[in-house]
Amino acid sequence: MPGSAVLLGGHPGAGKSTLLLQTACKLAQGRGVLYVTGEESLSQVAMRAHRLQLPTQGLKMLAETSVETILAVAERERPEILIIDSIQTMHLEDIASAPGGVAQVRESAAALTRFAKQSNTVLLLVGHVTKDGSLAGPKVLEHMIDASLLLEGGADSRFRTLRGQKNRFGAVNELGVFAMLEHGLKEVKNPSAIFLSRTEEQAPGSLVMVVWEGTRPILVEVQALLDDSPLGNPRRVAVGLDANRLAMLLAVLHRHGGLFTGDQDVFLNVVGGVKVLETSADLAVLLAVVSSLQSRPLPRELVVFGEVGLSGEIRPVPSGQERILEAAKHGFTRAIVPRANAPKRAPEGMEVVAVDKLADALEAL
């Protein structure tokens, strides 16, 4: 939006500068773009642009950390888009503290945002994050800007997700999935395909579920492994899921499914490094646990989703129809879903089993 301030955060090496450089080079072909770098020299940015084979004609670059100088140049050049990489390196002469300090970051961002509003310029700020993944710097920074975006992705994965945390001018439930390749970040048009690279051999404890990310359904695989515990207090380890919720679901399985796991170590993993934050994974988690407990593999063409309540009921989840259609599109022929999410007419070639209680789901297996 013209006149908006957008903050892009992410861990070091996530690809913030790469993503913005790619964006700036494309936009500079038809719009006025000024890219200000405070962390790298102009020659370093130019080397990266040539390595990524980007069209650099028309892109104006500036290596500067003084906000006063940047505003003077921006006033003269009048760009449509102003990119600051990063806000933590900027400083104002009037503020006594060092760059990166709370006062410098707050006042620098305020001066740049004020210029953007007055000149109708789109301002893109790069921000660092703390160890726990939240945005570094004063909290007032998030109130000052119009949109806050976070670029996530571990060092061990070539995939990155760009998600909105705040947006005054649009929805925050959008999700972009990118792959970091030789020539920069490329859009992943079918994220489900990444997380479904399963082996041909069927193994107990493996099951595909449909989670909702942003405005689209994504199919991911959940794996469970149960083993006799030598400890008096068996372990409950969940990677990509809430460990407290796992403990609760195991109690529901014992009470309403009649299956005891109190003498077993339970390990749970969501394949591909995905973090599942919604409750639609409950039923899939429990069925994967049952599969591992009984050492019986589940059918490869089965997909599951649904929230499990403390009384053993299977509750509906949002966008159930879209989840089923996405599974059918990927060749799944059987789905176990909450009764309230069951479609009146199932997609062609798919059998939809609607369940009300956990006992019904176990019987359907």
198 C-beta neighbours (distance < 10 Å), count: 13
Please give the average per-residue pLDDT across 260-282, as a whole number.
91
Longest dimension (CA), the chain: 74
| pLDDT (tens digit per residue) in 337-349 | 999 999 999 899 9
Strands 264-270 and 216-228: antiparallel
Determine the angle formed by the axes of helices 42-51 and 16-27, rounding to 10 degrees.
Answer: 80
- Report pLDDT for 202: 80
Provide the pLDDT for residue 154. Answer: 62
188: which 2 tokens?
């992943």
Specify the residue for token string 């809430």: 242
At 226 the pLDDT is 96
pLDDT digits (tens, 9 = 90+) for 68-85: 999 999 999 999 999 999
Q: How far is CA 165 from CA 9, 174, 189, in A?
A: 10, 10, 22
DSSP-derived pairing of the beta strands 314-315 and 307-308: antiparallel
pLDDT at 157 > cutoff 60: yes
Q: Is pLDDT above 60 for 307? A: yes
Q: Note the pLDDT of residue 33.
A: 96
The predicted-structure confidence for 234-267, as pLDDT tens digits, reads as follows: 999 999 999 999 999 999 999 999 999 999 999 9
Domain architecture of the chain: domains with CATH: 5-189 (3.40.50.300), 194-364 (3.30.230.10)
Mean pLDDT of 283-289: 97
CA dist 139 and 47 (Å) reads 35
The model scores a pTM over 0.85: no
Residues near 137 by beta carbon (within 8 Å), at least 6 away in sequence: 87, 88, 102, 105, 106, 127, 128
248 within 8 A of 310, measured Cβ to Cβ: yes
Rounded average pLDDT over 219-246: 93
Q: What value does the mean pLDDT take over residues 120-132?
A: 87
Looking at residue 303, what is its pLDDT? 95
Q: What is the pLDDT of residue 277?
A: 86
- Looking at residue 298, the DSSP 8-state letter turns out to be P
- Residue 198: per-residue pLDDT: 62
